[in-house]
Amino acid sequence: MGTNSQGQIYPPARTTMWYDKSPQPGDKGVSVVAGHVTYDGPDDFYELDRVAIGASVSVKCSNGRTLVWKVTERQSVNKTALTRDARVWGSSQTPVVALITCDRASKVVDGHHLNNYVVWVRPA
């Protein structure tokens, strides 16, 4: 997926998608995968904030390949700050996936959460 007309990564409901301007999962660099925490009820990443450091995460790619990763970091990040966060938009000499959703525990203003919740995973 790319971005919407406002320049935001915004996947459809009940869909978790790779941002096509980032490296593909498994390639060197930081891949961005986004999904909703809620969308007319709990969505794909509803419990992303409960994933523990060291937990295994499987990423199924559109080519049918499934990659197994290990959670190395997780954090609530202000949405504005996230647009400049090098851990998501910077480079990496190894494969990393940044799983991103809204932080359901953050304050809501005009119907939108102020923070995103990000979980970083590396090959297991």
Question: Token pair of 72, please?
Answer: 């190395």
Rounded Cα gap, residues 52 and 75, in angstroms: 11
DSSP-derived 3-state class of residue 15: coil
Fold topology of 24-123? Sortase; Chain: A; (2.40.260)
Residue 86 neighbours by CB under 8 Å, 6+ apart: none
What is the Cα gyration radius of the chain? 14
The answer, yes or no, to whether residue 7 has pLDDT greater than 80, is: no
- Strand duo 108-109 + 95-102: pairing: unpaired
pTM of the predicted model as reported, rounded to 2 decimal places: 0.91
Give domain limits for the chain.
24-123
Average pLDDT of the chain to the nearest whole number:
92
Q: Give the per-residue pLDDT at 118.
A: 98
**pLDDT tens digits, 65-91:** 899 999 999 999 999 999 999 999 999
Backbone φ and ψ for 110, nearest 5 degrees, come out as 50, 40
Name the residue with higher pLDDT: 4 or 35. Answer: 35
Residue that is written with structure tokens 């941002």 in the block: 19
Q: Give the per-residue pLDDT at 84.
A: 94
Question: Token pair of 119, please?
Answer: 């979980």
Q: Give the per-residue pLDDT at 79.
A: 94
Task: Of 115, 122, 42, 107, give the one whose Cα is nearest residue 75.
Answer: 115
Confidence of residue 39 (pLDDT cuts 50, 70, 90): confident
Confidence of residue 61 (pLDDT cuts 50, 70, 90): confident
Residue that is written with structure tokens 């295994």 in the block: 56
